[in-house]
Amino acid sequence: KERKAQHLLLDTDLSKCERMISLYDNLNALFEKAINEAYPDVVDPPVVISSSNNPKFGDYQCNSALPLCKLLSMEKTDAKKKVSPLDVAKNILSKVPSSPLIEKLDIAGAGFINIYLKREYGQNTLKNILKLGKVNPPPIYQPKTVLVDFSSPNVAKEMHVGHLRSTIIGESISRLLEFLGHKVLRINHIGDWGTQFGMLIAHLEDKFPNYSTESPPISDLQAFYKESKLRFDSDEEFKKRAYENVVKLQAHEPKIIHGWKLICDVSRKEFQNIYDRLDITLTERGESFYQDRMVAIVKELEEKGFLEEDEGRKIMWGNQKEGTIPLTIVKKDGGFTYDTSDMAAIKQRIFEEQAEWIIYVTDAGQATHFQIIVSCAERARIKLSHHRVDHVGFGVVLGEDKKKFKTRSGDTIKLSELLDEGLKRAEDKLREKERDKHLTEEEFRDAQRAIAYGCIKYADLCNNRAHEYVFSFDKMLQDKGNTAVYLLYARTRIRSIARTANVTQEQLKKAIEDTPISLEHEKEWKLAKVLLKFPDVIARVTKDLSLHTLCDFCYEIATTFTEFYDSCYCVEKNKTGEIVKVNMGRILLTEVTAMVLEQCFSILGLKPVEKM
């Protein structure tokens, strides 16, 4: 309903409409109207609109006649009055109001209504994009404050490929929602508080006794973590000191807090390095931020009678007990847990940040955790019905051997090293194609980075996120098929068409004013119709919070563009290679194709390059 109310722009003058309209919603509304008029007695009639995958059956189809006919014949027992789907289709067709979207309608087979779109609508819509100089988002019902909790690695423990997935997916979701006009808070819920700091600080004390005056040169925090864990597991005295440190940390003893900060700083630098390389924006707000709020939420839940004793622990059940588990709000030793911090966090987000929509991006393994958090937050009346919460879960990353992604020696792969390898592989690829001979050093490095980081992001996003995915540089660096490399090349090629035709910016501007986009040729029109799907694709991606649909759309644009370019000359040359004619109407089509593609790239985090 929300979407419908905003998308129906049928009364507006399409030639002035600044936003692309949803074809799906508009066709739906048209046919809903027609069906209601044709069959006023049927309550909630089925309105079935789908895009057609065979040009013989139009661009879209209305397949309501069959289910409607079934409904009608259930009511009519009198055999003589029985209607056929064909009759129903004819009846509906006669009631469809005229629309600037539709060229013609006809009926196929037993009663399918084929819908053919009007070229003029395509021309107007695409022209408006060129005139505006940008691709506007489809309208939203109401901008919301959305909090996206993503990346969220743990201090001193390794930031692994799972966190990389969360980082990539969370960034794209944030970009998508920002594009739509929502206010997005990008929160990095890092694990920066907890008992592991007891042993880390004990180890710090031994290795760098004067750490409070001199900054210790910890270069490899993972090794440092491993060393202290080893001592923790084997040395009783050390273990005791570690526990004492936890108590001191919680009491905010200055020297211990100083050590904690030092360790967090080392991690923070490592994380930031990855974020800078991948162009990720995040606000750090780790678990430590919620210390006081955890005390407060425990008190609140306790007072309201939500906590139950369970073998010394304090637990809380969600709205139902059956088939689930409770949260552990307070441990036996009085300490707090991951559950406690998430209860404090959801309250802070809803009450202080005024978040109306919270999105958690983590591995699918945490789905139950978030379900229970939400359920408990509902029980405690923290989350109300108008708050939306989504857990965006994803599958594990596998190595090419289909086993968990690890180094040969079985260690977790360091993300910085993974990115380095990506750069190296991208460089090899470019040299193999002898691009180093055609590009300046700077162009070469730009292309290298765009390919390396682009392919890592795209390989992650182009799969259904719910599935596990196999990390393979060989696969992601292929220049054929649905890969970042293919798309980056495609976009660079599209952008070079006007340039090689020597079309100046002035000429282009003038053409935008006075030349219609050429949509006569079947392949031109086919390309345009793909571009016109943009608002529906964005709506779908937003609904599912699944970016692979957008990746598929990019690929469809690129391949359809190739079809067009193969059969339609944009520039005609004579035998000596001189340009004799530039088809401006087609140049306009290439420009708008590039714009739509670039808008998708920006959501996916792909950096277009001028030359590659």
Residue in 202, 189, 219, 217 with CA at minimum distance from that of residue 259: 202
- Please say whether the dihedral angle defined by the alpha carbons of residues 327, 330, 333 and 335, taken in this order, is positive or negative: positive
**Shortest distance, position 154 Cβ to ligand ARG, whole Å:** 5
User: Closest approach of Cβ 366 to ligand ARG, in Å?
Assistant: 7
**Distance separating alpha carbons of residues 153 and 142, to the nearest angstrom:** 32
Least distance in angstroms from the C-beta of 138 to ligand ARG: 30
Q: Residue 113 or 355: which CB sits closer to ligand ARG?
A: 355
The least distance separating ligand ARG from the CB of residue 148, rounded to whole angstroms, comes to 11
Contacts of 365 (CB under 8 A, 6+ apart): 393
CB-nearer residue toward ligand ARG: 142 or 283:
283
CB of 359 or CB of 557, closer to ligand ARG: 359
Which residue number, 155 or 459, has a Cβ lying nearer to ligand ARG? 155
When CB distances to ligand ARG are compared, the closest residue is: 152
Q: Where are the beta strands (DSSP E) in 370-508?
A: 388-394, 397-398, 469-470
- Considering the complex, state which of residue 272 and residue 504 has its C-beta at the smaller distance from ligand ARG: 272
CB of residue 362 to ligand ARG, shortest distance in Å: 5
Nearest of 129, 259, 162 to residue 205 by alpha carbon: 259
Residue 605 sits at φ, ψ, to 5 deg, of 80, 25
Per the CB < 8 A criterion, the answer to whether 49 and 28 are in contact is: yes
**Shortest gap between Cβ of 169 and ligand ARG (angstroms)?**
13
Q: Which residues of 525-534 are buried (b: 16+ CB within 10 A; e: fewer)?
A: bbbbbbbbbb
C-beta of 372 vs 538, nearer to ligand ARG: 372
Give 316 or 532: the residue with its C-beta nearer to ligand ARG. 316
The angle subtended at Cα 359 by Cα 139 and Cα 137, nearest 5°, is 15
Smallest distance, ligand ARG to C-beta of residue 456, A: 19
Task: Decide: helix, strand or coil at residue 284.
Answer: strand
Q: Is 138 helix (H, G, I), strand (E, B) or coil?
A: coil
- Least distance from ligand ARG to the Cβ atom of residue 394, Å: 12
Cβ proximity of 340 and 294 under 8 Å:
yes
Identify whether the C-beta of residue 115 lies closer than 8 Å to the C-beta of residue 23: no
Which residue is listed with tokens 């009511």?
75
Residue 181 vs residues 177, 280, 427, 603: alpha-carbon distances, Å: 6, 19, 37, 13
Between residues 50 and 281, which has the closer beta carbon with respect to ligand ARG?
281
| Shortest reach from residue 6's CB to ligand ARG, in Å | 32
CB of 368 to ligand ARG, least distance (A): 12
User: Which amino acid would we find at residue 114?
Assistant: N
Q: How far apart are CA 176 and CA 148, in angstroms?
A: 12
Contacts of 91-95 with CB under 8 Å at 24 or more apart are 91/38, 91/39, 92/31, 92/34, 92/35, 92/38, 92/62, 92/64, 92/65, 92/68, 93/34, 94/38, 95/33, 95/34, 95/35, 95/37, 95/38
Minimum CB distance to ligand ARG smaller for 186 or for 529: 186
Nearer to ligand ARG by C-beta: 117 or 389?
389
Q: Could you tell me if 281 and 151 are in contact, meaning their C-beta atoms sit under 8 angstroms apart?
A: no
Give me 198's structure tokens.
Answer: 């007891």
Nearer to ligand ARG, 153 or 393 (CB): 153
Q: Which is nearer to ligand ARG, 211 or 360 (CB)?
A: 360
In angstroms, give the least distance from the CB of 155 to ligand ARG: 9
Residue 204 Cβ vs ligand ARG, minimum distance, rounded to whole Å: 22
CB of 151 to ligand ARG, least distance (A): 8
Q: Closest CB to ligand ARG among 345 and 389?
A: 345
What is the binding site for ligand ARG (CB under 6 A)? 149, 152-154, 189, 191, 342, 345, 360, 362
Residue 333 makes CB contacts below 8 A (sequence gap 6+) with none
Both tokens assigned to 435: 């691009």
Interatomic CA distance for residues 140 and 7, integer angstroms: 8
User: CB 338 → ligand ARG: shortest distance, Å?
Assistant: 7
Backbone region of residue 453 per phi and psi (left: phi > 0; alpha: psi in -120 to 50; beta: other values): alpha
For residues 376 and 487, which CB has a smaller minimum distance to ligand ARG in the complex?
376
